Structure 1
Amino acid sequence: MSSSADFWHRLEGTFLYYYYRLVMATARFEVEGLDNLAQVQASGRPIIWGLWHGINMPYMLY
């Protein structure tokens, strides 16, 4: 790979890193239904998690 391409890849990676940090520093999220989680865990049944993609994607790493 050329040094020009390496430079742009590093620049893109740096931008995405700081963008992600900004999003996580300014984002808020809410957890609902913890009582339901406790019931399912007590039953021993498997849990299926669901998450809407797009705007909520950074929260998956929280």
Structure 2
Amino acid sequence: TTVESIKGITAATTLQISKDDVTLAQNLMEIKATKPMAKGVTIQEPSEFRTTSPSQPLQPL
């Protein structure tokens, strides 16, 4: 019947969208892992960090 055909088409379409969503999510995770965090932001090794002292001493509360 027509109703059964429509249900079959809907189920097949829903399944395909779910597979595409999973593939898209996996691709986005791979891209995010390989790209820098943000433009102009660089990751430094801990040995490269500079420590600075505040210009004014901390005030006790």
Query: How high is the TM-score relative to the length of structure 2?
Result: 0.45
Larger gyration radius, structure 1 or structure 2: 2
TM-score by length of 1: 0.45
